[in-house]
């Protein structure tokens, strides 16, 4: 279920920055202050290249996280506590002058010049509604475990294969995102996949193989710790976006794709275990 992305919100402790080009939405529960601090520094570094509004969506009780975010110039929006999709939608409703949307988890990172790279792609490609880049999979210490940079293949696989377009390494035109109603609040894992599939009717997807972001791979990451549930929800999302005549056949490739994704995840976990402990 998608809701309108217009309306009034309550902002606490900071004012919206005018005339920014990019709206960065960062939801957090406030329980990972160490990685949140690192993420906020990575967002700060992007300000050397682009004008951005950082919106941090956090529960009222997450006082330490909210205070930290304010120190980094963030707009603070209350998290209604109804799931990650609605938290992101609340951040989207803070839009003022921004043209583009980018998402960042509270333990993920932008790579140097990542936002500028994606913005420049969209400026150069007026027919593109979405741009994405490579994404480094990093361990809790920041060491690279693997790199996802499927490029054109990611766009081809999106309707039926694994989702190789990383949400933290994606930039979307906000007007198009508003036209699809933002993110489906009924989804917990595959809300980005669902939005990407819906956005296809508004324009092309452009890409770079350059790494523009990093996803932190650790046991309490939502989609890592709930791999099976994530796969099942992704399959259901892809099924509903297929032409009706193909939906009954989708099970023929769903199971092999689920198996391949599981093998890939186990490979990254094995690589992480082989790295020597830090500290």
The pLDDT assigned to 279 comes to 46
Tell me the mean pLDDT in the region 179-188.
95
Exposed/middle/buried for 248, CB within 10 Å: 0-12, 13-18, 19+?
A: exposed
Tell me the mean pLDDT in the region 48-55.
97
Q: Which residues contact 229 (CB under 8 A, 6 or more apart)?
A: 188, 189
Alpha helices in the chain (DSSP H): 33-46, 63-71, 84-92, 114-124, 152-157, 174-179, 191-199, 222-225, 227-241, 251-274
Tell me the mean pLDDT in the region 160-164.
83
CA 240 vs. chain centroid, Å, equals: 21
pLDDT band at residue 8 under the 50/70/90 scheme? very low
Q: Which two tokens stand for residue 174?
A: 């906000």
Report pLDDT digits (tens) over 71-124: 999 999 999 999 999 999 999 999 999 999 999 999 999 999 999 999 999 999
Helices 33-46 and 63-71: crossing angle in degrees, nearest 10, is 20
Judging by DSSP bridges, how do beta strands 75-78 and 100-103 pair with one another? Answer: unpaired
Asked, for residue 1, whether it belongs to a domain, the answer is no
pTM, two decimals, is 0.83
Handedness of CA 221, 158, 53, 78 (dihedral sign): negative
pLDDT of 11 above 60: no
Tell me how many domains the chain contains.
1
pLDDT of 6 above 80: no
pLDDT of 1 above 50: yes
* Element holding 78 (H helix, E strand): strand 75-78
Q: Which two tokens stand for residue 163?
A: 């989702």
CATH no. for residue 130? 3.90.550.10
Q: What is the mean pLDDT of the chain?
A: 85
Asked, for residue 55, whether it belongs to a domain, the answer is yes
Q: Which residue has the higher pLDDT, 160 or 98?
A: 98
The pLDDT assigned to 230 comes to 80
Asked, for residue 8, whether it belongs to a domain, the answer is no
Q: Which residues contact 260 (CB under 8 A, 6 or more apart)?
A: 162
Report pLDDT digits (tens) over 122-152: 999 999 999 999 999 998 888 998 898 988 8
Question: Kindly report the CA angle at 82 between 79 and 86, in degrees rounded to 5?
Answer: 70
The pLDDT assigned to 231 comes to 80
Strand partners, 54: 24
pLDDT of 268 above 70: no
Tell me the mean pLDDT in the region 207-231.
76
Q: Which residue has the higher pLDDT, 237 or 249?
A: 237
pLDDT of 39 above 70: yes
Q: Which residue has the higher pLDDT, 44 or 18?
A: 44
Judging by DSSP bridges, how do beta strands 109-110 and 22-27 pair with one another? Answer: unpaired
Residue % of the chain over a pLDDT of 70: 77
Asked, for residue 4, whether it belongs to a domain, the answer is no
Asked, for residue 7, whether it belongs to a domain, the answer is no
pLDDT of 227 above 70: no
pLDDT band at residue 213 under the 50/70/90 scheme? very high
Torsion of CA 178, 69, 133, 118, to 10 degrees: 60
Q: In this structure, are residues 163 and 234 in contact, taking their beta carbons and an 8 Å threshold?
A: yes
**Separation CA 59–CA 70 (nearest Å):** 14
Q: Which residues contact 60 (CB under 8 A, 6 or more apart)?
A: 12, 78
**Which domain range does residue 186 map to?**
22-274
């Amino acid at each position: 279920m998608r809701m309108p992305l217009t309306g009034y919100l309550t902002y606490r402790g900071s004012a919206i920055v005018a005339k920014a080009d990019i709206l960065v939405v960062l939801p957090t529960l406030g329980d990972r202050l160490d990685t949140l601090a690192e993420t906020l520094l990575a967002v700060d570094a992007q300000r050397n290249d682009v004008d951005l509004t950082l919106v941090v969506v956090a529960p009222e009780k997450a006082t330490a996280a909210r205070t930290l975010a304010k120190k980094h110039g963030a707009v603070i929006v209350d998290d209604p506590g109804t799931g990650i999709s609605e938290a992101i939608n609340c951040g989207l409703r803070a839009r003022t002058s921004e043209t583009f949307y980018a998402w960042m988890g509270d333990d993920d990172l932008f790579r140097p010049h990542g936002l500028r790279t994606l913005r420049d792609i969209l400026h150069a490609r007026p027919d593109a509604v979405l741009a994405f880049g490579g994404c480094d999979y990093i361990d809790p210490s920041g060491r690279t475990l693997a790199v996802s940079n499927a490029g054109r293949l990611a766009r081809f696989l999106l309707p039926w294969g694994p989702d190789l377009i990383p949400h933290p390494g994606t930039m979307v035109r906000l007007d198009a995102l508003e036209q699809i109603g933002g993110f489906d609040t009924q989804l917990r894992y595959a809300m980005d996949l669902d939005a990407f599939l819906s956005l296809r009717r508004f324009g092309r997807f452009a890409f770079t193989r350059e790494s523009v972001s990093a996803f932190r791979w650790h046991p309490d990451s939502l989609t890592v710790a709930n791999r099976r549930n994530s796969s099942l929800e992704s399959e259901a999302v892809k099924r509903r976006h297929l032409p009706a005549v193909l939906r009954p056949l989708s099970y023929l490739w769903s199971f092999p794709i689920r198996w391949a994704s599981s093998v890939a995840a186990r490979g990254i976990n094995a690589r992480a275990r082989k790295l020597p402990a830090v500290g």
